[in-house]
Structure formats: structure tokens, C-alpha cells
Amino acid sequence: MKLVITIFLSVATTLAIAQYQSKSSGNWNNPSTWEGNVVPNSSTADIEILSGHTITLNTSVSVRNITITNGSLILGSNTIAIYGNLGGLQRNNMSSNTNTELQLLGGDEVAPFEFPANIEKLKKLVINRKQGAISYHSIDLDDGVPADGIVLVLTHGILYMYDASIVYLNSKQIQADIPCSDSSHIDGIVQRNIPKNSGVYTFPVGNKGFCRPFGVGLQNGNSDNINQVQFLYETPVQHDNINYNNLPGGIIQYFYWKHTVVSGGNPQRRLHYSYDDFPGVDSDERTESMTLANSNGSSAWDKATTPWTVNDNSKWVQFDNANASNSEYWTLGSVLSEINYENLHLPIELVTFWARLFDELRVELHWVTAQEVNNHYFVVHRSLNGIDFTPIDTIMSQGNSAEFSYYEYLDEVLFAETSILYYVLRQVDMNGDFTESHVIEVLLPQKQTQEIKPLDCKPLQGAIYIQIDTEQRPVSNIIVCDMQGNVHYELSDFSEMTSQFQVLIPVAGNKIYVVYIRYGDIYTSQRMMVR
């Protein structure tokens, strides 16, 4: 029994969150840099850099959350593993160089990591968190390539590249094959430099939760053969303009690739697919019908004269050698009229569900569905502890659709006492059947708070009593909620109140409640048990 207790206490200690604040500018591993003279280095360490301090990372470390309130963090030629997120008014003051290794780790509920503006170059990037990462600027992974050529490890989580930003993999020393999957890929543009006669190089691209890699090989070419690839899970351009003489079975109608030869020789192309892309079509039918179809964006979709091979075990179709086509748009086409790709329809599914902090009082939720049929509505559930979820709103379906449907919802979180909110999305069919999404997590900023004075608020039998001198302490908002986030009382209009405001709020007994009172810019809170 003693052994069991000892192990339990050890685990509990490991899970405790430790808070660290900078005391002065200096090296990370110098104790005098931190309040308490303790160097932070664990997956449960929350650090805050303030007072204009500049911290230089001179050793490899692990942290949970980093808040740069007023200062900067220079990563240098080291490895930093982040299990939480980066925040603060000066979050963009975290900078890297070509020898920095950044590891974005954490559980399924950790919010996406948003790249700060000064993380532009890295030696290596590792993503192993379900919600992935987001960047609004290009990321360069080709200047400090390690000896093994591994600069990008996509274990779990998607790297979303917004605003036409690019992941640069221009070094020929980078590994040829970069493993990826539906849950781990790059949603955006990838650029690679393809060496001659070195096999097919993978572009680990995907879109809207679907990974469909693209391969490029070179038999001839220049010293630099720069290629860009992006995968788009949407209706192809010119989708109804098809040369049916060469493609009697049409083309896939719900995804395509954009492949640009920036410089260099004619490439050999490889298109990857999933068996799920072909409902009702077996292996022999795929092998006999599939080819590479292309269009320049204005011409009809057609097949090239270059011979091709379908490898259904490895799930790709490729040209047998270089192809001289300058067309940028590529997808899968059928050379058999009896196997018509245009009649293929995918099942209904939730493609993606994610959230971000819109401002300090609101959370913005986004989700995308594909091929909606018989979908009635969605219910958004919120939790303060990740266990007890409460429905907060219902959003009706946009109706049956063969295209992607996009939804968003803005959640007011003024009363959230916790620093983390959790959400689950329930999708309900017309017949009442439902499915639930994964849990997502949103970090909230730390508000300026203080405890409510005992005279202001106290629990009674089956009620909460609040009394405030509004002349001495002008009030702008009062909210009472339970630990599941259900609001039991709310008041924001005090225009007709006397100087002595009093209210008795009946509530259910034997429950814990939180009272929030806002005095100007000060948020106050008090947790209490009502008998």
C-alpha cells in the first residue's frame, strides 16, 4: 500500500504547473535570470518575460506556456519544446535562427500554436499536437539542414500556412520522403529543390483535413529544379470542361493539386490518393481506369501522352518518366467510361473543428463539413474543466450540399474564471442520431482580478446575497454561474439603482457557484458553496 501511495504522489507532483517570471535579462540557464533563482525546464513550466528583459536560450529546454508581456526571447542554436502556447503583448519578440529546433508538443486539447512573426528560419520543426500550428508568414527550413536531412517531423497535427505563405525546403540535402497523413501534413504551399536522378521527392500537402501528397522526380534539369505544390480539397478549376475523348470517365470532382515549376527541367509527377476517394470502386477498377489529368486553368482537362503506372498497393499514379506539360493543375482522371469518376460521392463528415481567442472576452469557433446530407443542426458545448460539458447554443445546418460548408460561432466568455475553456461540437441528424467531435482547448488571457470583499457577497441557504455600495464602488456588471458555465443571474444596467444595491438570488443548494463583479476595469470573483 505504501508503494502505491508513493507512486501516486510522484505523479501528482509531476503534473503540478510551475510559474516562473523573469527577474533580469540574461541566459536562460542562469538562476539569477529568474525570480526564486530556479531555472524553468519542464513540460509543466509556465514562464513570463517582463520588464523589458531579454532572455537568451543557451541550452535545450521544455516549457508549457510562454508569455512575453514586455521583453524578448532569443532561441539561438538550441532546441525548445513547447507543450502549451505562446502569448503576451510582445509574443512576436520570440526569435529564431537557422540552427533552432522548435518542437510543438502537447495533448489533444492544446490549442494550435501560432507562429510569431520572428520565427522565420529553423533547423528543424517537429509537430506532435492534435490541433497543429498556424503561420501567416513563410517558414524557411533549408539553411541549417542536419546531417540526417530531417528538417520536418509531422507526427500529429497540421501546419496551416495562411496568406499564401510557403514552407521552403529548397536544400537538396533534405530527406526525399516526408511522412504525412490526414492528421499531420502541411495545409498550404510547399517549395522543394529536386536533385536529378535521385528518385521521387514528396510534398507532404493536404487541405481541410485530407492529406494527398504529391511527388516530383527529375531525370534531367538544371542545378536548381525548384517546384511548388499545393493541394486543394475543392471542386477543380474548369471542372465541367473535360476532353471526354481522352477522359471518357471524367475527373475527380472534389480535389486537385496546383503544381508550379518555378525553375528547372521537366518533372516526373506522382499523385497520391486514398481508397476512400473511390467509394464503390475496387482495386482492379482503379488500376484499369486511373490516369493523371491536367489543365492550365482555361483549357479542358485532358490526359498526357506520357506513359503512366498505377500502384494501388502504395496508392499512387505516376508518369513513367518526365512529362513536358506546363499545366499547373492536376487531378485523377478515368480512361474508362464505365468507371465514371464524376459520379463518386463522399460520405458526410466533420472535416475540421478549431477555435481561437477573438479578444479577451470572446472565443471564435470554426468548423467545416463535407457533403452534408440529412444534417439537422449543431450544438456547441462548453466546459470549464474538460469533463463536465454544457450546451451553450444551437446552430442550424446550412442544408444538403455536395460542397464544403463553413460555420463559425462567437462565444462570450466574460464570466470564465478558469484560464482554459474546452469545447465539443455535437452534430445531429434529422432522425435524431448524433456524433460528437474531439475536444478542443482555448487558453484565455489572465485578467486583472481581485477577490470580492466579504461584505459584497455571501452564500445563504439556497441563495446568494449581494450588497454593494455603488457610490464608492461603481459596478458595471454582475454575473453568477455554476462550475459548468451555466449563468443563473446577470445584470449590467445599474442606471436606476440606489447607492446601496442589494439582491437575493435563489439558486439550487449543494452546488458551487462563482460570482463575478466588474468594477470599471477590475474583474472580481468569488467561489462559494451554497447549502
Q: What is the pLDDT of residue 32?
A: 96
Let me know whether 431 and 469 are in one domain. Answer: no
Let me know whether 241 and 317 are in one domain. Answer: yes
CATH number of the domain bearing residue 453: 2.60.40.10
Q: Which residue has the cell 477577490?
A: 451
Let me know whether 432 and 521 are in one domain. Answer: no
**Gap between the Cα atoms of 264 and 223, Å rounded:** 8
Total structural domains within the chain: 4
Q: Is 300 inside a domain boundary?
A: yes
Let me know whether 134 and 277 are in one domain. Answer: no
Q: Is 171 inside a domain boundary?
A: no
Q: What is the pLDDT of residue 498?
A: 65
Let me know whether 416 and 311 are in one domain. Answer: no
**Gap between the Cα atoms of 453 and 455, Å rounded:** 5
- SS3 label, residue 31: helix
Residues 6+ positions from 100 with CB-CB distance below 8 Å:
75, 76, 77, 78, 79, 80, 119, 121, 122, 123
Q: What is the pLDDT of residue 511?
A: 77
Let me know whether 119 and 57 are in one domain. Answer: yes
Let me know whether 97 and 135 are in one domain. Answer: yes
Q: What is the pLDDT of residue 402?
A: 60
**Residue 517 CB-density burial (10 A; 0-12 exposed, 13-18 middle, 19+ buried):** buried
**Gap between the Cα atoms of 432 and 364, Å rounded:** 27
Bridge partners, residue 140, by sequence: 121, 168
Cα distances from 152 to residues 113, 155, 444, in angstroms, run 16, 9, 30
**Gap between the Cα atoms of 204 and 187, Å rounded:** 9
Q: Is 159 inside a domain boundary?
A: no
DSSP line for 392-424: EEEEE-----SSEEEEEEEEE-TT--SSEEEEE
Helix and strand numbers (H, E) in the chain are: 2, 48
Let me know whether 190 and 291 are in one domain. Answer: yes
Let me know whether 21 and 48 are in one domain. Answer: yes
Q: What is the pLDDT of residue 522?
A: 63
Q: Which cell numbers in the block locate residue 456?
A: 459584497
Q: What is the pLDDT of residue 242?
A: 97
Q: Is 375 inside a domain boundary?
A: yes
Let me know whether 421 and 459 are in one domain. Answer: no
Domain range for 363: 349-443
Q: Is 413 inside a domain boundary?
A: yes
Q: What is the pLDDT of residue 232?
A: 94
Question: Which residues in the chain land under pLDDT 50?
Answer: 1-15, 447-452, 454-455
Let me know whether 522 and 474 are in one domain. Answer: yes
Residues 6+ positions from 167 with CB-CB distance below 8 Å:
138, 139, 141, 152, 159, 161, 186, 188, 189, 190, 191
Q: Which residue has the cell 487541405?
A: 207
Sign of the C-alpha dihedral computed for residues 108, 110, 114 and 116 taken in this order: negative
Bridge partners, residue 436, by sequence: 426
Question: What letter does residue 29 receive in the DSSP assignment?
Answer: T
Residues 6+ positions from 91 with CB-CB distance below 8 Å:
66, 67, 68, 116
CA neighbor of 514 nearest in space, from 525, 523, 506: 525
According to DSSP, the β-strands at 159-161 and 133-135 are parallel
**Gap between the Cα atoms of 23 and 402, Å rounded:** 57
Q: Is 123 inside a domain boundary?
A: yes
Bridge partners, residue 53, by sequence: 71
Q: Which cell numbers in the block locate residue 415?
A: 464570466
Q: What is the pLDDT of residue 345?
A: 62
DSSP line for 193-204: EPPBTS-EEEE-
C-alpha triplet 311, 183, 429: angle, nearest 5°: 105
Q: What is the pLDDT of residue 525?
A: 67
Let me know whether 272 and 135 are in one domain. Answer: no
Q: What pTM does this model have?
A: 0.68
**Gap between the Cα atoms of 142 and 154, Å rounded:** 16
**Gap between the Cα atoms of 405 and 417, Å rounded:** 33
